[in-house]
Each structure stands twice: as C-alpha cells, then as structure tokens.
Amino acid sequence: MKTPALSRLFSPKAVAVFGSVKPGRMAGQIVTQLLEGGYLNPLVCVNPRAEAPGQYPGLPALASLDAWTEKPDLAVIAVPAEHVSGTLEACGRAGVPFAVVLSAGFAESGNQAGEERLKELARHYNIRVIGPNCAGIMHTPSRLFASIENRALPGRIAFISQSGAVGGAVLAIAGLRGIGFSTFVSYGNRADIGEVELLHHLASDPATDVVAMYLESITDGRAFLAAAAAVSREKPFIIIKAGRSRAGERAAGSHTGSLAGSDAVFTAACRQSGALRAEGIEELLDLCSAFQDLPLMQGGRLAIVTNSGGPAILTADRAEAVGLEVAEPGAPLRAALSEFLSERCSLGNPFDLTVEASGENFERALRAVLEHDYDGAIAMNVGTPFIDSRKLAEGIAAAAKDPAGGKPVAAVFMAGEMVATGARLLAERGVPLFPTGERAGAALAGLSRYASIRRRINRSYRAQPAVSAALRTRLLPFGEPVLEPELVEFLNSLDFPLPPAKFAATPEEAEAAAAGLGFPLVMKVVSPRVLHKSDRGGVLLDIRSAEQARQAFLELRKVFAGLDFRGAMLYTQLQQQIELILGVKRDSQFGPVVLLGAGGVLTEMIRDVSVRIAPLDREEADEMIDELTVRPLLEGFRGRPRADRAALAGLIVRTSELACVYPEIQELDFNPLFAGPEGCVIGDARLLRAPGAEGEESQSGLR
Amino acid sequence: MKTPALSRLFSPKAVAVFGSVKPGRMAGQIVTQLLEGGYLNPLVCVNPRAEAPGQYPGLPALASLDAWTEKPDLAVIAVPAEHVSGTLEACGRAGVPFAVVLSAGFAESGNQAGEERLKELARHYNIRVIGPNCAGIMHTPSRLFASIENRALPGRIAFISQSGAVGGAVLAIAGLRGIGFSTFVSYGNRADIGEVELLHHLASDPATDVVAMYLESITDGRAFLAAAAAVSREKPFIIIKAGRSRAGERAAGSHTGSLAGSDAVFTAACRQSGALRAEGIEELLDLCSAFQDLPLMQGGRLAIVTNSGGPAILTADRAEAVGLEVAEPGAPLRAALSEFLSERCSLGNPFDLTVEASGENFERALRAVLEHDYDGAIAMNVGTPFIDSRKLAEGIAAAAKDPAGGKPVAAVFMAGEMVATGARLLAERGVPLFPTGERAGAALAGLSRYASIRRRINRSYRAQPAVSAALRTRLLPFGEPVLEPELVEFLNSLDFPLPPAKFAATPEEAEAAAAGLGFPLVMKVVSPRVLHKSDRGGVLLDIRSAEQARQAFLELRKVFAGLDFRGAMLYTQLQQQIELILGVKRDSQFGPVVLLGAGGVLTEMIRDVSVRIAPLDREEADEMIDELTVRPLLEGFRGRPRADRAALAGLIVRTSELACVYPEIQELDFNPLFAGPEGCVIGDARLLRAPGAEGEESQSGLR
C-alpha cells in the first residue's frame, strides 16, 4: 500500500493557512513558524478580514481561497470547529489535495457528527486529511513547519505522534540534545490519514533513516503489523505505546483471555514486526540519538573505556541488565593495551585509564578494543578540574568517527561545566553523548537488538495478513450451546490429540464404553448448565472397572438431575506429564493470537507465557517454546524424559491455524496440555464462542 | 558508636593545606575552593617554598606548619605519596586532630606498605584520617569546601562516596538541578574513617535531613547494617551499590550458596535496615530532590493532574510499575471537580484539565484531589505556545507549598524553552521539578516507600548485631569428615524435623532397622567419598519389606565397595508435599544469612527466593514466606490442604539461629524441605563446613 502521494503533502509547492492571525491565535502562529522556518514557496493567509500577521505586512492575505492565483497543495486549517466544513468545501472546490486540520472540537470532545461530516467531505472532494485535533506537520528537507510545536532541527529521523503534546515534548527535548528530524506528524484524531499509511510512506522515504512513534491506540492491528514490518525491514522503528498499566485489567473468560492481555499482544506485535519498544520519552530519544549517529552493533560484547572506575561499574551493571555482555578481554588485547597504557591502568573491562588518561590513550584504547574483542564501546570521561575535556573529546571523536570495523562508540561526559568544552566538541563531530553511562548502555543495547532483528528479517518478519488470507474461513460445525461430545468430535476430526473418549447417555452405555476404553478412566458430566464441572463435583477420577463406571454414571445423574443432565463423557485417564496451557483468543485489535504457557499450579503464580499473533510457522512456534521459563522441564530437567518438542511445535502451529480458520472461536484453551516423550495430549479443552448476531456468548468445554 | 568528634572535622576553626599551589596543582585548587567558597577562619598554605597561590598574595604561606601561630583542626594533604608520611608526622607533632589525604599512590595502586605506614602514623599521633586517594570533603554550613570537586549548593542532604569521580558527577548534576548539600565526603581508600563512622555521625547530624551514598564495597557488613539502620530510623537513606552484575557470578557449593549471591545479601541488608536502593545517579538525585523539598507520601494513591493526556498516561504506566496506585476518584471528588472544571476535562485519573487549564484550575484541582482520595500528586504542564507557563506554575506552587494534609506535589514541565519561565518560578518556590512524568512517579514512589519504612521502623529495623551477640557460639559436635549419621543425630538433638531414621552397618542391621521403621523406606549409602549420592546410584527408593532392605544393603555394599563404604541410612519414605528449600550460608561481608525458596524443579528455573541476614524473629520469617512467588501453594492453592505456616516460620527462625550459634557452618541446605498441613519435614540436608585451620573444605549430607 505505497502512497507516494504523501510525499506531495510534505513538499507542497504552495500553502494556504486558514484561520485568525491575530496575536496568540493558531493560524498566525503557523504562518510565523512557516516563515521563520524558511518556507520559500507561495503562502497565503485566508480569513474573513483578509489579514496577514502584523509582522509580515506584505504577505498575501485573502477573504477567500478562490481569489488566489496559486493552486496550493496543502491547506492548513485552524478555524473554529464549526467553520471547518465550510473551509474544507472551499478547499475541495479549489482542488486542494491535502489538508492539515488543527482545529479541535471533534470526536475527542464527543462531536462524532462533526467528525463524520469532515470524513464525508474529505471523501467527496478527494482531499486527504491529517487531523483534526492535531498539532500539525513538519518536513525539514522542504523547510515546511506547519505546526504549532517547536521547530525540529534538520535530521533523518521521522517522528509521528498520536498526541500533539507528546510530540511537542519530544521535539523540545530533542532540540536541546541536537537530535534532528526529517519529518514530524501529529495526526490527532486520524479521521483520514493514520499511522498505517504514514508508516508505509516513511518505510520508503529516502529522507528518513529512523522512524519513531508515540501511540495510544490502533484501529486495525493486522494493518499496523504489516506497516510496522515494512518499516523494520528498511530502518529502525521505535515505538512508545502508552496505556501499558491499564491494559491488563479487563476481566476475561479463560486463562488465555486473561494471560494474553492487550499489552502482551502488542508486545508480540512489536516482536513479530521487528519494532523496538521504548518505555518513555527519554529512552526513545536515547535510541534516536544512537541510531542517528552510530552504526549498528553487530553483537553483544561491550567495552567500557573510562577515566574513572565508579561510574563505569554502574554502566557495566546496567549494560548487563539490558542484555549486553561486559566480557573480559583476551590475551592479545591485553598485550596490545599494555604497550601504551601505564601499569596503573586496568586492562580488564571496564578499561580504567585512570585520571591520567590522555586523548591519545582514549583513541588508541578505543581502537584496540574494537579491533580485538568487542562489538561496540562506551567512552566515559568523568571531569575533574585537572583534565582538559577538549583533548579527551578529540581523541574519542577520532576513534568514534573512524572506528575499527565500523563499530559504534558512544560517549559519556559527566560533571557539567567541567566537561562542557569537550561535550560541545563531541556534539559538533556527531558523537552521541549521554548524560550517564547507564543510558548509553541501554542505547547501545538497542543498536545491538536491531542488528539482530536485521539479520533475521527475511526469515521471520513476514507480512502476516497475507498468510492469514491463505487460510479459508469456515463455520464451527456445532450449534448453541456447545456440548462436550461435539467439541471432542470436532477436535478429533481435525486430529487434535485427545485421549480415547466415549459418550454415554445411560448407565448401560457407560458400562459398555468403559469396557471398550480400558482402565483407569475419568468420567465427566455433560450438561449445558454446568460450566465448571470440577468445582461442582462433575468430574470423577480413577474409575477402575465397568461396574464402577456404571455406579459413577448413576451418581452423576443423581447429582445433576435438576441441571439438564445429558449424560457423561468417559476418557482414558492420562498419566500426568509436564503440564502446559495452549490457547487462542481473538484480540479486539489483532484478531487471533496464540498463547503458550506453564500449566497447572504455575499458570497463575508465575505467569510464564509466550504470546504471538496467529498464524505461526514452525520456527515461530519453536521461539515460543524457547521463551518459556519452564522450558528446561521439556528438555529432560534432572534426568527426566525429554518431551517431544516437534510434536508440541506442530500442535502450536495447527492451533494457530485453527483460530484463523474458525473466526467464531473467541477463546479456546487446552488446559492442561500434557507434553511427554510420546507427544502431547489435551487434558481438557474449553471453547468460548464469539458473540453471535444476538450478542450472546456461550461456553463449552471438556471440564 | 557515636563519634561527635566528627563535627569538628566538618567545622574546623583553622585549616592548613599541604602541597604545591602552582597553577593546576591540587593544593592550589583546594585553597581556591576554600576561599571562593567563603571559608573565613584562618587558613595557611604549607609547602617547601612557602608559596600562596598567585591570585591570593596576602595569604599566609609557610615552609613548615611549626611556624604557624594558629592550631589547625584540619590538615588537607595534597603532597606526592612519598611525602605523606612526613606531612602526617608534622601534623601529629602539631596536635592536628583531622587530616584529609587527597594524595593517590597507596593501596589503590598496590602500595600496601605506604597505606599501612599511614595507618600506623594516624594511630600513633591520634590523627583521624579521611582518604588517602580521595576527592576531599565539604560542609556547607561552615562554608568548608576542602575538595577538588564542584562546590555543592547549600542544602540539607549529605552525600558520601567511595568514588571521588561519582561524587563529582553527582555534585555537578545536582548543581544544575538546584539540589543542595549539607555535607559531602569522598572517603577514598578509607584507611581510617569509613562509611560506618560517617553514617553514625550523619544519623544524628542536625544539619542533615537526607543521607545518600555511593558504595562499591564494604568492610564489615554487620557494622554497616547497624549504621544503615541508625540512619534510616532518623532520615531517608538512599544507596547506590555498584557491582550488581558481577556479584552473582562466583561458583558456589550448594543451592543456598548460589541463590544467595552477594548482591541478594546486600539487597536483604537494605531491606532490613530500611535503606532505599537506587539503580544509578539519576534515580539517586531524583529521590534526593523529592526528599529535599517534599513531605513523605503516607500511602500509595497517586493523582496525576495534567493539561495533556499522552504524557500523563506514560506517567501512570510508570507509577504503577514502581508500586503506586493510579486509582480512580470517588463520587464526592468528581462532584467537587465538576464544580469548576469544564465538561471537556477528564474527571478520571489522570485528571486532564486540557490545553485550556488555568493556574487557578490547577491549584483547585490539586487541592481537591489531595483533600479527597489521594496521598500525593504530580502536576504536569506540557507547553504549547499559547500557554503562559508562569501562571500555571503559580497555581501549582500555591497548591504544592500549602497542600491539603501535608501531602507531596511534584511538578513536570515539559517542552524546553516554552515552559522555562514557569520552571524557574517553581524552582524558586522549592517545588521539585522532573524532566518527565515517569521520573516524577518513581521519585514519589520513594517518598511512599520511606513513609512505610518509617511506620514499621520500631518493629523490624532493629540493631542486628546486638541480637546476634545474644546467641553464644558453639563448635559442631562432629569431626572431619562429617558423615550422614552424625549430621542426622546432630539435627535430631536440636529437634529439627527429620523423618525417622536408622543407621545400618551390616545387612542384618539393615533388615532389623527396616522392620523397626516401617514401610516404604529410602536407603542411602554412607561413605565419606560419595558426595552426590543420587547421581551415583547411592539412593534406593520404595523399599517395601525387610527382605528388600537386606537386598538393597547388599547392592549398595557391592557398588560402593571400593569407595570407603561405611553402611547405609534408612529413612521412612516421605509423602511428597510442597517442596521448598531452606538454607543458611556465611556471607563474606554479612556473616550468616538465611535463604528460603521454591524447591524441587522450580529452584533453578524461577529463582524464587527470599534472603535475610540472620538471626531473624518470627515476624521477619513471616515476611520471607510472604515474599515467595509460590506462597499460594502454601495457602491451599486450588483446594489443596494449607501448609502449617507457623511451623515453617518457626523452623526458619531456628535455622537462622543455628547459623549464628555454629560459626563453623559455611553452608547448610534443607533441600527439599517438605511443607504440609502437619508441619515441615526435612527431605535432605547437606552441610558444608567453613574452611578449617588447614584451609580445607568438607561436605557432608544426607544425599
């Protein structure tokens, strides 16, 4: 879904700004931003009094767009909400292809009708709209600053934000840190153009090397996933997703439902699309700064070169916590370092050059560590009044801008004024500077993570929706309410591994079924009115003879006589092995998702789960197994038999496909799923049907 | 161990500075710092040429201290390492009570002899010494800046640092943020005065309200624990402990050894003493800023009052992640807010006053949330060009400086220059300002955590060493090597809950013992040369008759004939219940520590452990149980029987005392320990003896 047209939005040949230009009013602010930012193409102010801002008396100003001789590509609309429709109509008549609507007062404040009217007009006149209720757009290559926020420095990062305020805050902090942008979009209510279209555009935008975004909600999870994967395939993609804490709160009808909360599903989407998730604004900007100025880190081995021990230890602590390896050097590197470092220096990692470190020693040490053992380095200078921070900065910059093997070097200059001249030099030379080693370590971990994503990108970051479409959907072959015998028959017909089972409607049938199945047996009541069978005494274990089976049936019939008793299911009793839970659920954003987790008593206690968006291939199923904390149990922990991993992975794949093929499945749990050396067996299954035409839910299960 | 004398160190009536005062040299720098910092008492430079720094020509300067008419309380020594002894002798002869030795070149660079000589002289002349190899001290109430680092702003925080560089970095960043200090000490190699003595001083120092420290290692864990508890009882105590990542790496001889790594023990020490642990410099300063300017937060309910939704959601996410509760308001608060807020505002938490928020609305909303439902608040202003940040700041400051119920209000002003005037106003009024809401949330969580520590302080933050001293130590009643029958007898004699057991040296004894114990039985080989009995086939299970017992004995004797076979232990086979691990180990810093964890297959997989420094009381033992992830198992998870919690807590207490009473115990594991409704039973025990006079280790166990 390439939209090359969007490049015209960001490089308009003429712009019309609608709204009051009186001091402090929004349209005037936009005009000021455009002119101060250096926009040189034709520009006109449109407002009832045909006013231009007082400080730009010669600027064209009209009461109506019709009177303009130019044909604008872009209308920036900052009129009161009730006048937006009229303005859009005027733009439509004039054939303006793009509008950025800053005006608030639409869906965000309950005015759904106004927002619908805006959408209609946009469709009718074929105007593509950003907003309403947004803070505008910027594009530094075309010197377009059609936004009320701080003007971005020029650069090669694109930032798109669902919140104008977060966008403004990011730009303000980025400006202080020298981080520059190609593109900024605050897309507000996304009545028309939203994140999916913007991401596809940015994926192929030659002016953009890094894409960052702030997101609160998405409208179409599958489309978002495809767009995110399209970006990650080309360039680093960093996301802040707000609302993490609230996400998991909803009540759910099954374990899969509660364990695969919407935040867990979003995390799975990031993982499957190759996006990097940042926790907050500082982490986002730290990553942007690193990606802007540094090559990727092709491995996890980090060297810390410092002139002070303490802060370097804190750096090592944090670097290891975020997945890097602060490994010790080998003998050849030690030998190389000892040629020029004094015996007071530490030849271990962190490499402490001591307070006597010179710029030359920093440069030589950085070159040596990158040549020998490490994938990236942090250079730390902790200022004291005796040290000329500028000289150290020169040595560090020399090594950082021409690093051995094209590896990344980040710098940390601590202690404020004492290191200010050095810090300025590094900024001028484009060496990214972090306020603490802890944050530098986290940023380099991002470089390393994206490098590993890039290595795998052609394998597992595939376009999900295409695969999904290949699976033809079907209807469930049973009606409402779903009874256990039907669910068992359905799963058996698809070769899902259930224990041998028979349904009995009478004591005699129970006796005969038992004899046919062999012993020991489990018997479960069948009734549309009994959902939690175990809790209600509807499950009888360890039946060891046909006569016991008859007695058990009579007992169930007696207990559940008043509860629409239909009979009983008899199963061969399973030898208990490793308990897992495998399930699918239909996420409101992303559709079918798969969950694999530790089962039994561990399910709720340790929440050891892996989540993916369905369908999956074998490799992804294997990754899910690898993510489990209880994985050692499957691998023959302490001399126990090894579970059949191939059978488990195959079952995960088939379960993920089941969820795609039967859209009526809202939630389906195999809990417990027993994994053993001979394969997997479903100990119990439970199905929750998606709300039907009548909006009803229905549950059925083996339980 | 109060040392009121230290107050004289920090408020000297006269100071002598030893060393070269040439430009760029350390002693000259110290003199400059002292004079520019406003030190008004007599000051003299002492160096061979009797020079004062060029810019202070009138300053007294002597070739020898003897010639000075004043009697200094403090000598600041910045001479080359080889001249430190002579300088100390001169100070000693002159009766100087305190010296701060900045000179490097002692133990830190391998010169142990020089450091020993320095200690000897200090003892001989009764000079108390800070350093060597330190960055000096500051005390703002007496305008004493005897340090090479940036001069601290005046304030009521004390910061002591094992690393001069970290100290300098903290002071530099603190200066930019307006955080002030009463006291700064870089104590370097701590040849004499170390962190323990400094902490006891600061605990009762009336000029200090908050104590912060940076620590790399400690010399005496028990003394540190007592000092930390002494501080926490009086004022908030914040620690950065470096070396977190490396700490857990050492190989250990038992599960307790590896699970209770030195970092886990340090964390336990913080918890037991009431200290707050910060991860890095920014978190430390965020906490200092909050404690400096705000009252404690007497609960966990946080209100977020904002003029922008997005950043407030990020704040809520982080606040909940660090343990605060961003709860929804009750009806009375909603009613109160709706009286003055427009319908566009969100009356849920975060309270979004929208871009139209006024200073007055901020003030009223903050007052209302603190009056009604919340224990603290964050006020967030995300700047846009239309907002007068100064007016918002005035409203926020008014509410923050006179908050309902003395509750804390922190501010976040985002977007750089656009909010600069408001930010300055808040700084002037002493309202702490954070760069992001995420960091404000973490800082308020610290206020809440310390408030809860204060509430418990008289209960559980007791002086550990005193309790420890009450337990008289004894020798283990068995020699080397320790055999299983002796260990069992020892534990039985102390009423530790072991299953019935008998030792058999012959097949006939085995037969008789089996008949006496009852069935089923477990039999284990006894041999000083077989440590890992299970792995070597030395444990036979499920013996069901006296004859089987005889056969089992014969089999063990045959298999272990060449391995110093001594016989076999027979035990009643335990019904498996909830598996735990309970152990003690002797930590090199803190002495005996106790570990409780999930047992069986979970031990290594989920590392679910709680660690405490021994001995413990019942309440602390209960806290350990409460910390376990597997606690629900003990509480009758899913209808299972409840374990006897009182019995378990009692066993933890007695095991902790055992470790104190028998210092020869290096490590003792009860693994598994079975916890059930009838109490606890030790499934297996294993004892590692502390290295003896010969430096040997020996192991023994039931395994």
B3-55 tens-digit pLDDT: 447 999 999 999 999 999 998 899 999 999 999 999 999 999 999 999 999 99
Give B513's pLDDT tier (boundaries 50, 70, 90): very high
B178 contact residues in A (CB cutoff 8 A): none
CB atoms A605 and B29 under 8 Å = no
Q: Which of A240, A245, A328, A380 to mutate to probe the B interface, most B CBs <10 Å?
A: A245
Q: Tokens representing A695?
A: 């909006």
Closest CB from B172, B314, B416 relative to A414: B172
CA–CA gap between residue B49 and residue B18 (Å, rounded): 12
* C-alpha closest to that of B215 among B155, B166, B150: B166
Do B310 and A383 count as a contact with CB atoms less than 8 A apart? no
- 3-class SS of residue A128: strand
Closest Cβ–Cβ partner in B242, B313, B416 for A317: B242
pLDDT score for A43: 97
* pLDDT at position A33 over 60: yes
Closest CA to A308 of A250, A248, A355: A355
What is the average per-residue pLDDT within B90-117?
94
Q: How many residues are listed for chain A in this entry? A: 703
- Whether residue B245 and residue A320 make contact (CB cut-off 8 A), yes or no, is yes
Has residue B470 got a pLDDT over 60? no
Residues of A in contact with B216 (CB under 8 A): 309-310, 313
Of B169, B246, B417, the CB nearest to A311: B169
Q: What is the pLDDT of residue A248?
A: 35
DSSP-derived letter for residue B677 is T
Task: Spell out the residues 6+ positions from residue B8 whose beta carbon is closer than 8 angstroms to its own.
Answer: B73, B97, B98
- Tell me which DSSP letter residue B414 carries: E
pLDDT surpasses 90 at B410: yes
Is the predicted pLDDT of residue B380 greater than 50, yes or no?
A: yes
Task: Give A686's DSSP letter.
Answer: E
What are the tokens at B366?
Answer: 């903050």
Letter for the amino acid at B671? N
CA-based diameter of chain A, in Å? 103
Model confidence pLDDT, tens digit, residues B636-656: 877 778 999 999 999 999 999
pLDDT recorded at residue A692: 61
Torsion sign (Cα): A275, A279, A280, A283: negative
Task: Assess whether pLDDT exceeds 90 at residue B384.
Answer: no
Q: Which of A216, A418, A605 sits opposite B629 (nearest CB)?
A: A605
| The one-letter amino acid at A557 | R
Verify whether the Cβ–Cβ distance B242 to A282 is below 8 Å: no
State mean pLDDT over B615-624: 92
> What are the strands of the beta sheet with A276-278, ordered from one edge?
A144-147, A136-139, A180-186, A153-161, A210-215, A237-241, A276-278
Question: Where residue A696 falls among pLDDT bands split at 50, 70, 90?
Answer: very low
Chain B environment of A317 (Cβ under 8 Å): 242-245, 279
State yes or no: ipTM above 0.95. Answer: no
Q: Which helix (H) or strand (E) holds B8?
A: helix B6-10
Element (H, E) at B263: helix B262-273
Residue B63's pLDDT is 96
Residue ranges of alpha helices (H) inside B536-580 are 546-559
**C-beta atoms of B150 and A417 within 8 A:** yes
In the predicted model, what is the mean pLDDT of residues A567-574?
Answer: 92
Give just the sign of the alpha carbon dihedral A145, A150, A154, A160.
Answer: negative
